[in-house]
Amino acid sequence: MNNIKIKTKTCIAKGITHEGEVRVFKGIPYAKPPEGALRWLEPQPLPHSEVEIDANEYGSSSIQPIDEEIEIASLHKQSENCLSLNIWTKYAEGARKPVMVFIHGGSYVFGGTCDPMYNGYRFAADQDVVFVSINYRLGILGFLDLSEFDAKYKNSGRLGLLDQVRALTWVKENISFFGGDEDNITIFGESCGGGSVSLLMTMPDAKGLFNKVIAQSGSYNLKKNVCLAKQMTREIMIELGCERLSELKRLSADRIRDYLARDCPSSFGFKAEIMFAPSADGQCLPVEPLVEIQNGCASDVKFMTGTTANEFFYWKLFTENLAERMPLFLAEQLYVQGIILHHQEQARKDFFEHRKSRDYEETVIGYSDEILFRIPTIKMADAQSEHNDTYVYYFTWESNIPGLKSCHALELPFVFNTLDAESSAAITGEYPPEKLARDMQSAWASFAKSGDPSNENIPKWDKYDSMRRKTMIIDEEWQVANDPEKESREIISKMFIG
């Protein structure tokens, strides 16, 4: 490995060349540290500088609870000074390679770029794209709405998204130094990362920073209204023993982490799974993102989206008797997201009748899958397909770990081709199909390069429209299907008006 230096507008980054071809730069700051006087304020741009930094280690993860079993990023060094990004590139002077920027998931509370599952080496080495991953503020420090206390904190309920905007601005201004094409940027993410990239499509501040989006198992619905956000802020402050904003500002990062780990889940129950979703204020973030998409706010963006077949089976990893608790889980998720369903009793009856031949656990969990994951994804695809090329997938390969089926996040080790990572094996089990990983990564990279995921390794991937609903079924064998699970979609869609 050899050291390599690249001069950017904000620093001289000193990284390493890996295996003679891929240059790796980790932990590059993209904004001023959001701590001290800058806590709960919008990310501040860095000044132009020629200071040299060692870019050989991942930057700190955002403050979050420690989870030794699932969230590897939580075991990494944590700090409020967490606004950094990483770059993998097969650098060539004067090159203008496609750029892919990944936004991690974790319910807006967990996660970070240091997870080995998110290693960008294979994207750069095998697909010849410039790959970027970013950290952003999470939980209380990234999404606690303090707007009613002081006007300068008007955007505190959306800081994680604004961090993403600031990171993308840095990429736009500097990625050419790493061989990337600043006019060919794809953003993609999974879970709340999928929600993030979907919401970024609707945000005025993000306009022009990317031209392609891939939303995996996350959509426009992963947000909450400002009134609920303020109500939750008051409740959190009471539990933290803070009567005034000045007391909250003096809280240590350790106290915040402890609260998120212990008191928050016990007080808010299943609401805690999504309660730190960004608050939609109608200015920075539209109150009705789907309506904005329907009206063409992202008409210049090519779009790709999809879900796994059994999303909520992932929660079996840390929730006992999930099927029994699923109705409460669903109700509290709907409450936070502000989704009002109609004709629920009849729709539930029809859904269970339609799936009566399937396993009961799969049916009761699948009911929530359709409402919270698949139908929002389809509605967003319907809307965006009216304005630009749209592609939809349905991932059906089942984990080799008994009981997980085709769960949430299962596609990630294949997209990144990081099947050998410990965090990947924890959900795939032993001996996952390597060809599926190569094929999925090539499809994601093809979309980033041309706006079309089709390539020589897979069947032709037809564009999606709301009439035929052509969808790529992704498994060891790929196939295009018209409107898969049509009957389930039609039943659940009746509950969504508008």
φ/ψ (deg, to 5) at 389: -60, 130
| pLDDT in the model for residue 103 | 98
Q: What is the mean pLDDT of residues 338-362?
A: 94
pLDDT digits (tens, 9 = 90+) for 295-314: 999 999 999 999 999 999 99
Tokens of 189: 């993410």
Q: Looking at 311, 398, 411, 485, which residue is catalytic? A: 311
Q: What whole-number distance in Å separates Cα of residue 106 and Cα of residue 111?
A: 5
Looking at the chain, the whole-number percentage of residues with pLDDT higher than 70 is 99
Q: What whole-number distance in Å separates Cα of residue 199 and Cα of residue 307?
A: 17
Q: What whole-number distance in Å separates Cα of residue 59 and Cα of residue 84?
A: 6
Closest CA to 347 of 490, 496, 485, 492: 492
Q: Return the SS3 of 287.
A: coil
Q: Looking at 76, 104, 387, 408, which residue is catalytic? A: 408
Residue pair 64/110 in contact by the 8 Å Cβ criterion: yes
Q: What is the mean pLDDT of residues 437-453?
A: 98
Residue pair 473/481 in contact by the 8 Å Cβ criterion: yes
For 405, the enclosing helix (H) or strand (E) is none
Q: What whole-number distance in Å separates Cα of residue 354 and Cα of residue 344?
A: 15
Residue 408 appears among annotated catalytic residues: yes
Residue 322 contacts by C-beta under 8 Å, 6 or more apart in sequence? 312, 313, 315, 316, 329, 365
Q: What whole-number distance in Å separates Cα of residue 356 and Cα of residue 348?
A: 12
Confidence of residue 439 (pLDDT cuts 50, 70, 90): very high
Burial of 150-187, coded b for 16+ CB within 10 Å and e otherwise, reads: eeebbbbbbbbbbbbbbbbbbbbebbbebbbbeebbbb
φ/ψ (deg, to 5) at 471: -135, 135
Residue 440 contacts by C-beta under 8 Å, 6 or more apart in sequence? 411, 414, 415, 417, 474
Q: Return the SS3 of 17.
A: strand
- Residue 497 pLDDT more than 90? no
Residue pair 412/405 in contact by the 8 Å Cβ criterion: no
Tokens of 259: 């609260």
Out of 282-286, 317-321, 388-392, which region has the weakest mean confidence (pLDDT)? 317-321
Closest CA to 333 of 364, 371, 366, 307: 371
Give the N- to C-terminal CA distance of the chain in Å, as an integer: 56
Residue pair 364/326 in contact by the 8 Å Cβ criterion: yes
- HSE, CB side, 13 Å, CA atoms: give it for residue 86: 28
Q: Which domains, ranges and CATH numbers included, belong to the chain?
A: 59-493 (3.40.50.1820)
Burial of 310-325, coded b for 16+ CB within 10 Å and e otherwise, reads: bbbbbbbbebeebbee
- Residue 126 pLDDT more than 70? yes
Q: What is the mean pLDDT of residues 359-364?
A: 94
pLDDT digits (tens, 9 = 90+) for 377-401: 999 999 999 999 999 999 999 999 9
Closest CA to 225 of 272, 268, 271, 280: 280
- Residue 1 pLDDT more than 90? no
Confidence of residue 402 (pLDDT cuts 50, 70, 90): very high
Q: Kindly report the average pLDDT of the chain as a whole number.
A: 96
Q: What whole-number distance in Å separates Cα of residue 489 and Cα of residue 254?
A: 45
| pLDDT in the model for residue 153 | 97
Residue 311 appears among annotated catalytic residues: yes
Looking at the chain, the whole-number percentage of residues with pLDDT higher than 90 is 95
Ramachandran region of residue 138, left (φ > 0), alpha (ψ -120 to 50) or beta? beta
- Residue 224 pLDDT more than 60? yes
Q: What whole-number distance in Å separates Cα of residue 147 and Cα of residue 149?
A: 5
pLDDT digits (tens, 9 = 90+) for 37-88: 999 999 999 999 999 999 999 999 999 999 988 899 999 999 999 999 999 9
| pLDDT in the model for residue 498 | 57
Ramachandran region of residue 13, left (φ > 0), alpha (ψ -120 to 50) or beta? beta
Q: What whole-number distance in Å separates Cα of residue 26 and Cα of residue 132?
A: 10
Q: What whole-number distance in Å separates Cα of residue 116 and Cα of residue 312?
A: 23
Tokens of 220: 């426009």
AA identity, residue 155: N
Q: What is the mean pLDDT of residues 407-419?
A: 98
Confidence of residue 92 (pLDDT cuts 50, 70, 90): confident
Q: What whole-number distance in Å separates Cα of residue 188 and Cα of residue 415?
A: 11
Q: Do you know the residue count of the chain?
A: 498
Q: Looking at 84, 147, 176, 191, which residue is catalytic? A: 191
Q: Residue 29's CB: how many other CB atoms inside 10 A?
A: 19
For 15, the enclosing helix (H) or strand (E) is strand 12-18
- Residue 467 pLDDT more than 70? yes
Q: Tokens 């090519």, residue?
A: 302
Tokens of 136: 């952003």
- Residue 18 pLDDT more than 90? no
Residue 93 contacts by C-beta under 8 Å, 6 or more apart in sequence? 179
Q: Residue 435's CB: how many other CB atoms inside 10 A?
A: 10
Q: Tokens 């860095």, residue?
A: 46
- Give ∠ CA 351-357-361 in degrees, rounded to 5: 70
Q: Tokens 């940027």, residue?
A: 185
- Residue 449 pLDDT more than 70? yes
